[in-house]
């Protein structure tokens, strides 16, 4: 059978990696630049696997079925099995235990808030490999499993310990199974599959929004207590404060120097990198959530999930605005406060008039 094409989706954007490389010299600079090229190679490998056809994801045997592997600094996946569901914490390997715990939190959120049995809705087992590559300053969903690097040791660190980063990547698995064909996944002759255009930006935005809700849900925070940041715990102090902000996308005082995220649809360009353009959707969610107050996942969690279920592989921001507004009317009632807040938020970021 023909397998699904899933993007190899990274949490740390290319522009930030280039920025960190510019702050480095010699071999360290080249290592970071090579990691940007490595992402394209991984996408190509994923495309070859998908074209041959893959088996359906393995169904877990327990409610939260996880397995964590050790890639041992190599790039061959998955590596040596370290911990399976209900297994004891791994001695002297905090990254394995952190990844295991954070995956469990994200899966519990999917279950309790979304009513969804794992990422595919059918109880698929989630595999993750830690200690991927040498100084790998990223985490990713490969279309089949999660991969987590240790950070480059100078600018980035403790990636497995970041609930936001892990939640972001696992949410790519969710959107992969929500939307047939993969939201924004573009296939071109002799090119690896990649996220592009408005649909690609919507894909990245969904992961950021889910990750933010997962963080808030786990901490028991309301919308005013939340920091609305992603990756605030993986950057060294000199490198920046966070990878992205939903409250004010592109504000370097909240994120990192040269952050190019946009929050106004009028600034969107089809050639923009999906992480850059995802700020439009991120900010719309933030505006709607803060207008409503309370807990974001209670007011808007199902709204965004049901809204995204209405999208197709090439959907636009206008499509997403209409879909989430319709979902708000379905979940909370037509002309309810959430319905009005969602419509007003998309108008505020200039997606709708």
Interval 230-269: pLDDT, tens: 999 999 999 999 999 999 999 999 999 999 999 999 999 9
Q: Is 169 an annotated catalytic residue?
A: yes
CA dihedral 94, 31, 139, 248 (to 10 degrees): 110
| Poorest-pLDDT segment among 38-42, 43-47, 228-232 | 43-47
Last residue of a domain, one of 152, 186, 220: 186
Instruction: Give a yes or no: residue 4 inside a domain.
Output: no
| Among 350, 242, 240, CA closest to 287 | 350
Q: What is the CATH number of the domain that holds 91?
A: 3.10.170.10
The pTM is what?
A: 0.92
Q: Is 339 an annotated catalytic residue?
A: no
Same domain, 21 and 112: yes
Residue among 275, 283, 332, 339 flagged as catalytic: 275
CA dihedral 73, 74, 77, 80 (to 10 degrees): -50
Same domain, 162 and 284: no
Last residue of a domain, one of 121, 152, 186: 186
Same domain, 335 and 272: yes
Total domain count, the chain: 2
Same domain, 273 and 150: no
Instruction: Give a yes or no: residue 53 inside a domain.
Output: yes
| Among 275, 122, 250, CA closest to 184 | 275
Same domain, 175 and 315: no
Q: What percent of the chain has a predicted confidence (pLDDT) above 90? A: 78
User: What's the mean pLDDT in 35-58?
Assistant: 51
| Poorest-pLDDT segment among 4-13, 47-56, 152-161, 178-187 | 47-56
Same domain, 200 and 224: yes
Instruction: Give a yes or no: residue 336 inside a domain.
Output: yes
Instruction: Give a yes or no: residue 2 inside a domain.
Output: no
Last residue of a domain, one of 186, 213, 237: 186
Q: What is the CATH number of the domain that holds 205?
A: 1.10.390.10
Interval 97-135: pLDDT, tens: 999 999 999 999 999 999 999 999 999 999 999 999 999
Instruction: Give a yes or no: residue 231 inside a domain.
Output: yes
Instruction: Give a yes or no: residue 269 inside a domain.
Output: yes
Residue among 144, 169, 198, 232 flagged as catalytic: 169
> In this predicted model, which residue has the larger pLDDT, 39 or 269?
269
Same domain, 157 and 200: no
Q: How far is CA 15 from CA 22, 33, 146, 235, 302, in A?
A: 11, 11, 22, 15, 32
Interval 161-204: pLDDT, tens: 999 999 999 999 999 999 988 898 876 666 656 788 999 999 99
Question: Which residues constitute the domain of residue 274?
Answer: 195-348
| pLDDT at position 51 | 35
Does 78 sit behind a cis peptide bond, omega within 30 degrees of 0 on the bond before it?
yes
| pLDDT at position 195 | 81
User: What's the mean pLDDT in 317-336?
Assistant: 98
């Amino acid at each position: 059978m023909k397998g699904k094409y899933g993007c190899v989706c990274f949490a740390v954007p290319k522009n930030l990696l280039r920025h960190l490389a510019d702050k480095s010299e010699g071999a360290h600079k080249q290592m970071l630049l090579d990691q940007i090229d490595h992402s394209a190679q991984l996408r190509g490998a994923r495309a070859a696997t998908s074209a041959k056809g893959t088996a359906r994801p393995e169904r877990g045997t327990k409610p939260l079925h996880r397995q964590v592997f050790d890639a041992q600094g190599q790039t061959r996946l998955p590596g040596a099995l370290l911990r399976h569901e209900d297994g004891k914490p791994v001695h002297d390997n905090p990254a394995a235990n952190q990844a295991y715990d954070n995956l469990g939190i994200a899966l519990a959120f999917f279950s309790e808030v979304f009513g969804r049995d794992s990422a595919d809705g059918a109880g698929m087992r989630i595999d993750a490999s830690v200690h991927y590559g040498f100084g790998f300053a990223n985490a990713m969903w490969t279309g089949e499993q999660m991969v987590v690097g240790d950070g480059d040791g100078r600018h980035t660190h403790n990636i497995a310990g970041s609930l936001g980063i892990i939640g972001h990547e696992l949410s790519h698995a969710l959107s992969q199974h929500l939307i047939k064909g993969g939201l924004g996944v573009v296939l071109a002759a002799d090119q690896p599959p990649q996220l592009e255009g408005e649909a690609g930006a919507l894909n990245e935005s969904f992961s950021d929004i889910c990750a933010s809700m997962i963080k808030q849900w786990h901490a028991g925070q309301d919308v005013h207590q939340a920091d609305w940041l992603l990756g605030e715990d993986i950057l060294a102090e000199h490198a920046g404060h966070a990878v992205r902000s939903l409250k004010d996308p592109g504000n370097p005082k909240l994120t990192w120097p040269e952050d190019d995220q946009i929050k106004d649809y009028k600034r969107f360009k089809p050639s923009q990198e999906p992480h850059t353009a995802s700020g439009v959707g991120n900010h719309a969610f933030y505006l709607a959530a803060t207008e409503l107050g309370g807990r974001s996942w209670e007011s808007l969690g199902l709204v965004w999930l049901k809204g995204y279920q209405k999208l197709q592989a090439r959907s636009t921001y206008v499509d997403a605005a209409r879909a989430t507004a319709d979902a708000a009317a379905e979940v909370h009632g037509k002309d309810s406060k959430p319905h009005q807040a969602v419509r007003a938020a998309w108008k505020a970021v200039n997606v709708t008039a």
